[in-house]
């Protein structure tokens, strides 16, 4: 009886250890948010709340949510990933109990040695993380135990002493615990040391190579000149103030007048021919519109005056001292023996004087409507000047230098570039300083400067410097009007311009939505996300004509985008299957997204028939008359369609896969036909921003978030948690290795109301842009009977994807009752899509792919 009980215990122990091993092997950081459960959450599992149900559905661990919790706890609160050895030891112990009814002394000895080895190895990794030798590898490699021992021992005996202690302890633990001869371990350690020394010697050779290093010389002459990266000449007197900091002012405040630029005026010729509005780019009245009258328009006169062409303005910044005169009798610091190196602070204040474009005098004509773009007078006037407090810059530079020197990081040169919200302090660290050492000091620098958050760029992209971004005490407001009057915004090469704002150094930044081609926006509540969406819409409206641009707006919040209802007959595209202009209901959101998918497929058919690859080539050849009307098909230019979803999290919680599928299809295919998606959410978790959505949205904007894991979810890197809010954002265009920090342009609600009112008062098209109907396609494609369910096609697609049909599947996927689901299955059987019932098994699916279904429909 005793043997039997011991074997039962061994069996249960082996089962438990095997399950824990499966949980550890299937660990993924995507489950980190789901695995952080409190005691209240554990008790909440009995109630089955929506939040927990969502966690269950989005967990990737093989053992579900329980496995994610167990693996997360073992990896973070014990010895990290080395805890995989624990269930393996348990399996070996269970095997001994099953065979011998006891654990052998040899296994006990080796188990103790293994546990001690995992603790020592995790402590070694924790020490390497503590001294920034292994940055950004995550705490799962050391665990709480490794970080504890590293944190206790390193301050006492230093990092080198800690490594020697841990490696010696590991050496003797492995030798005595596994009965390995000391000579064998010594030979192995010797070979490893030789490999390590070769690596160190190679890096040391590169470090001391004069061709590879950049010398930082002091100021040798009274007045020195050097060329900056952009070719400008910087003139600097070698005079130091009492605290060793020299402020080098820009030419804008030294009395240097810039040559006025007279913009050239080019007339814009617009001769619009007689066109039939019944047929739009390739399909007749029955396929595209339901009720539209034929309108003839006469040829309109050319526009008398177009937007001004600013031309190329050469920028020659000249950096002078605060005084207009230079003192030639001042001794240089290098002439004094034993003097400390002077900290040179180059304050590059860029005052942008972009040539303004008079928007109010530009009048564009359409073949059917006369449209006047909104004038710039509707917006609050902005300024390009950045107010700089010299005392603040001088104090921060001195504090920064002193703080870095306390960590034995010396700098000889410091360049300060003030921006509207943050100031970037750039410097070149002394030889032998690792970049990772500086990155780990963000919190210490923030504490010393009393700043809310400090972001470190190491290195600055395109430069051999390290940049530290410190918030200004008195930030400047970046107005939307100052961005749309810039030369970059009116660049003719940008087809869909987005006036994002200004970078950290004060440069105007505009992006092209066609090159992104889709944008994902995330940020906490109240950090500027809604203002950013309004800025994006206003940017497109100020540059585009209603015939060239349409919006599909989904606003589950109901109040954020309601102002744009006045643009219904100008800039909005609507669905014939719903009665909402600005979509607010989740069910209607699914419908209009499917309408846009149908629009995409229709456009691809048209482009394929003409042999064109993208919408730009098609529109250009249609306007040039190179694509002729034939076979009853009239070709017309296609407008760009921008789909804006203000809150994805709400749609994912209510509609789930029904929303994700059309978004992913549009993101994968719609770029070539001029359809672009802008998706925003205030909850950037992995269950909202799924892998499919994230993979197809290369361009991303992150406003301030609460945790580093949220920043990694949206940007694949940390940094958004260090932003300061109020439009401070990181923009990852998709073609740069690191995101760009900038201040989002601000447009107020009053300005948006004035913009919409100006357009709404004008005469627009008689009907808005109508997307293809999916209801008519279902009714016409599935059966001639009026009793066919509207979810017929959706149910067929679900069964084809699963290759198995059942009533319960439709109930779960489509969220419908049993009677309706059973009726749909009977209709699919009558149509020959699924087979007859087969007892307790699921029905067979007779079609193998969605292409066969589309052909059948």
What does the alpha-carbon distance between residue 323 and residue 253 come to, in Å, rounded to a whole number?
10
Instruction: Give me the percent of the chain exceeding a pLDDT of 90.
Output: 23
Of 19-23, 179-183, 433-437, least confident by mean pLDDT is 179-183
286 contacts 770 by C-beta, under 8 angstroms: no
Q: Which residues contact 119 (CB under 8 A, 6 or more apart)?
A: 79, 145, 146, 149
Q: Is the confidence at residue 321, as pLDDT, over 70?
A: no
Cβ of 475: how many Cβ atoms within 10 Å? Answer: 18
Burial class of residue 334, CB neighbours in 10 A (0-12, 13-18, 19+): middle
What does the alpha-carbon distance between residue 36 and residue 25 come to, in Å, rounded to a whole number?
19
* Helix (H/G/I), strand (E/B), else coil: 263: coil
- Per-residue pLDDT of 774-808, as tens digits, reads 866 655 544 444 457 888 888 988 988 888 888 88
82 contacts 122 by C-beta, under 8 angstroms: yes
For position 767, what pLDDT does the model report?
87
Give the helix/strand (H/E) hosting 225.
strand 223-227
Residue 845, preceding bond cis, omega within 30 degrees? no
What does the alpha-carbon distance between residue 491 and residue 498 come to, in Å, rounded to a whole number?
11
The model's confidence at residue 239, banded by pLDDT at 50, 70 and 90, is: very low
Cβ of 25: how many Cβ atoms within 10 Å? Answer: 13
The model's confidence at residue 47, banded by pLDDT at 50, 70 and 90, is: low
Name the residue with higher pLDDT: 224 or 394: 394
What does the alpha-carbon distance between residue 801 and residue 787 come to, in Å, rounded to a whole number?
25
DSSP classification of residue 843: B
Of 133-147, 366-380, 412-426, least confident by mean pLDDT is 133-147
The pLDDT of 470-476, averaged and rounded, is 86
Q: Which residues contact 418 (CB under 8 A, 6 or more apart)?
A: 347, 348, 349, 386, 388, 393, 472, 505, 506
Name the residue with higher pLDDT: 225 or 367: 367
Of 258-262, 412-416, 668-672, least confident by mean pLDDT is 258-262
The model's confidence at residue 310, banded by pLDDT at 50, 70 and 90, is: very low
Identify the bridge partners of residue 520 per DSSP, sorted by sequence position. 679, 700
For position 463, what pLDDT does the model report?
79
Q: Name the token pair of 770.
A: 């109508």
Q: Name the token pair of 73.
A: 């706890």
745 contacts 511 by C-beta, under 8 angstroms: no
For position 747, what pLDDT does the model report?
94
The model's confidence at residue 202, banded by pLDDT at 50, 70 and 90, is: low
Which domains are delineated in the chain?
2-207 (no CATH), 223-256+303-351+386-471 (3.30.980.40), 511-770 (3.40.50.300), 774-856 (1.10.10.10)
Q: Is the confidence at residue 315, as pLDDT, over 60?
A: no
487 contacts 310 by C-beta, under 8 angstroms: yes
Name the residue with higher pLDDT: 531 or 239: 531
705 contacts 679 by C-beta, under 8 angstroms: no
Q: Name the token pair of 74.
A: 């073992």
327 contacts 239 by C-beta, under 8 angstroms: yes
CA-CA-CA-CA dihedral for 663, 667, 673, 675, to nearest 10: 60
The pLDDT of 398-418, averaged and rounded, is 85
The pLDDT of 132-141, averaged and rounded, is 67
Cβ of 276: how many Cβ atoms within 10 Å? Answer: 15
The pLDDT of 837-853, averaged and rounded, is 79
Q: Name the token pair of 571.
A: 């800039």
Nearest to 454 by CA among 417, 420, 415, 425: 425
Name the residue with higher pLDDT: 318 or 193: 193
Of 91-100, 379-388, 586-595, 696-705, least confident by mean pLDDT is 379-388
Q: What stretches of 45-135 show up as alpha helix (H) in DSSP?
A: 50-58, 64-77, 85-100, 105-130
Q: Is the confidence at residue 294, as pLDDT, over 80?
A: no
End-to-end CA distance of the chain: 68
For position 100, what pLDDT does the model report?
85
> What are φ and ψ of residue 702, in 5° steps?
-120, 120
Q: Is the confidence at residue 142, as pLDDT, over 70?
A: yes
- Per-residue pLDDT of 327-361, as tens digits, reads 334 443 444 444 444 445 555 444 444 444 333 32
Name the residue with higher pLDDT: 443 or 301: 443
- Per-residue pLDDT of 78-122, as tens digits, reads 998 889 999 999 999 999 888 888 888 888 998 999 999 999 999
The pLDDT of 607-629, averaged and rounded, is 88
Identify the bridge partners of residue 425 per DSSP, sorted by sequence position. 416, 468
For position 512, what pLDDT does the model report?
93
Nearest to 53 by CA among 72, 67, 34: 34
For position 777, what pLDDT does the model report?
60
**Full strand arrangement of the beta sheet holding 699-702:** 508-512, 497-503, 740-744, 728-732, 699-702, 519-522, 675-681, 640-645, 549-554
Taking all residues of the chain, what is their mean pLDDT, rounded to a whole number? 76
715 contacts 702 by C-beta, under 8 angstroms: yes
483-506 burial: b if 16+ Cβ within 10 Å, else e: bbbbbbbbeeebbbbbbbbbbbbb
For position 718, what pLDDT does the model report?
84
Per-range mean pLDDT, top range of 253-262, 379-388, 623-632: 623-632
Q: Name the token pair of 764.
A: 């627009």
465 contacts 482 by C-beta, under 8 angstroms: no
What does the alpha-carbon distance between residue 575 and residue 583 come to, in Å, rounded to a whole number?
10
Of 321-325, 457-461, 624-628, least confident by mean pLDDT is 321-325
Name the residue with higher pLDDT: 188 or 608: 608
Per-range mean pLDDT, top range of 37-46, 273-282, 621-630: 621-630
The pLDDT of 250-276, averaged and rounded, is 38
Residue 517, preceding bond cis, omega within 30 degrees? yes
Cβ of 822: how many Cβ atoms within 10 Å? Answer: 13
720 contacts 741 by C-beta, under 8 angstroms: no
Q: Is the confidence at residue 325, as pLDDT, over 80?
A: no
Q: What stretches of 565-640 show up as alpha helix (H) in DSSP?
A: 586-610, 615-623
pTM: 0.54
- Per-residue pLDDT of 512-541, as tens digits, reads 999 999 999 999 988 989 999 999 999 999
């Amino acid at each position: 009886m005793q043997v039997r009980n011991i074997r039962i215990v061994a069996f249960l122990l082996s089962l438990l250890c095997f399950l824990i091993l499966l949980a550890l092997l299937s660990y993924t950081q995507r489950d980190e948010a789901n695995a952080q459960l409190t005691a209240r959450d554990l008790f909440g599992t009995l109630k089955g709340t929506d939040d927990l149900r969502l966690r269950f559905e989005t967990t990737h661990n093989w053992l579900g949510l329980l496995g994610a919790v167990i693996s997360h706890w073992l990896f973070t609160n014990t010895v990290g990933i080395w805890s995989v050895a624990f269930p393996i030891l348990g399996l070996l112990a269970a095997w001994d109990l099953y065979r011998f009814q006891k654990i052998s002394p040899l296994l006990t000895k080796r188990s103790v040695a293994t546990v001690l080895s995992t603790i020592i190895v995790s402590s070694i990794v924790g020490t390497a993380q503590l001294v920034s030798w292994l940055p950004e590898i995550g705490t799962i490699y050391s665990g709480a135990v490794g970080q504890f021992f590293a944190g206790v021992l390193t301050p006492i005996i230093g990092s080198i002493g800690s490594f020697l202690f841990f490696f010696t302890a590991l050496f003797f633990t492995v030798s005595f615990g596994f009965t390995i001869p000391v000579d064998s371990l010594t030979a192995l350690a010797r070979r490893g040391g030789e490999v390590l020394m070769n690596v160190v010697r190679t890096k040391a050779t590169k470090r001391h190579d004069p061709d590879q290093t950049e010398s930082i010389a002091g100021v040798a002459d009274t007045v020195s000149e050097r060329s900056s990266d952009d070719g400008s000449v910087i003139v600097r007197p070698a005079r130091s103030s009492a605290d060793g900091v020299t402020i080098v002012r820009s030419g804008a405040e030294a009395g240097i007048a810039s040559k006025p630029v007279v913009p050239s005026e080019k007339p814009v010729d617009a001769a619009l021919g007689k066109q039939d509005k019944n047929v739009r780019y390739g399909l007749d009245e029955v396929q595209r519109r339901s009720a539209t009258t034929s309108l003839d328009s006469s040829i309109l006169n050319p526009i008398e005056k177009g937007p001004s062409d600013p031309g190329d303005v050469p920028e020659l910044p000249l950096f002078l001292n605060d005084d207009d005169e230079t003192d030639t009798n001042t001794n240089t610091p290098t002439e004094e023996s034993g003097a400390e190196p002077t900290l040179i602070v180059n304050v590059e204040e860029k005052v942008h004087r972009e040539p303004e474009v008079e928007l109010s005098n530009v009048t564009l004509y359409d073949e059917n409507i006369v449209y006047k773009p909104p004038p710039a007078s509707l917006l609050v006037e902005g300024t390009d000047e950045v107010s700089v407090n010299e005392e603040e810059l001088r104090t921060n530079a001195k504090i920064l230098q002193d703080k870095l020197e306390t960590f034995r990081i010396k700098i000889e040169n410091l360049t300060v570039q003030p921006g509207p919200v943050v100031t970037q302090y750039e410097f070149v660290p002394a030889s032998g300083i690792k970049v990772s050492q500086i990155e780990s000091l963000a919190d210490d620098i923030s504490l010393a400067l009393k700043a809310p958050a400090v972001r470190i760029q190491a290195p600055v992209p395109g430069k051999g410097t390290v940049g530290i971004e410190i918030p200004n005490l008195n930030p400047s407001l970046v107005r939307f009007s100052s961005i749309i009057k810039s030369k970059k915004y009116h660049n003719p090469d940008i087809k869909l311009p987005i006036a994002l704002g200004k970078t950290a150094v004060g440069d105007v930044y505009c992006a092209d939505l066609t090159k992104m081609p889709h944008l994902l926006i995330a940020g906490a509540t109240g950090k500027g996300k809604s203002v950013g969406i309004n800025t994006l819409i206003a940017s497109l409206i100020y540059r585009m004509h209603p015939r060239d641009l349409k919006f599909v707006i989904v606003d589950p919040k109901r109040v954020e985008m309601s102002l744009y209802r006045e643009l219904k007959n100008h800039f909005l595209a609507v669905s014939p299957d719903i009665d909402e202009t600005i979509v607010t209901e989740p069910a209607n959101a699914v419908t209009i997204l499917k309408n846009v998918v149908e629009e995409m497929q229709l456009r691809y058919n048209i482009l394929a028939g003409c042999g064109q690859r993208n919408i730009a080539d098609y529109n250009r050849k249609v306007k040039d008359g190179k694509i002729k009307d034939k076979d009853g098909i009239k070709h017309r230019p296609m407008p760009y369609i921008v789909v804006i979803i203000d809150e994805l999290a709400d749609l994912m919680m209510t509609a789930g896969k029904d929303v994700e599928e059309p978004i992913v299809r549009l993101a994968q295919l719609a770029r070539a036909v001029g359809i672009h998606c802008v998706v925003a959410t205030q909850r950037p978790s992995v269950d909202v921003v799924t892998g499919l959505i994230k993979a197809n949205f290369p361009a991303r904007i992150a406003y301030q978030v609460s945790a580093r894991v949220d920043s990694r979810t949206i940007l694949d890197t940390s940094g958004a948690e260090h932003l300061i809010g109020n439009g401070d954002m990181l923009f990852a265009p998709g073609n740069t290795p690191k995101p760009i920090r900038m201040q989002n342009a601000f447009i107020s609600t009053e300005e948006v109301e004035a913009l919409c009112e100006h357009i709404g008062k004008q005469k627009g098209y008689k009907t808005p842009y109508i997307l293809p109907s999916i209801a008519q396609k279902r009714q016409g494609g599935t059966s001639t009977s009026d009793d066919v369910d509207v979810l017929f096609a959706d149910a067929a697609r679900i069964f084809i994807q699963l290759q198995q049909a059942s009533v319960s599947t439709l109930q779960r996927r489509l969220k419908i009752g049993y009677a309706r689901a059973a009726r749909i299955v009977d209709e699919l059987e009558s149509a020959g899509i699924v087979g007859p019932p087969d007892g307790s098994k699921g029905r067979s699916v007779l079609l193998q792919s969605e292409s066969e279904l589309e052909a059948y429909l």
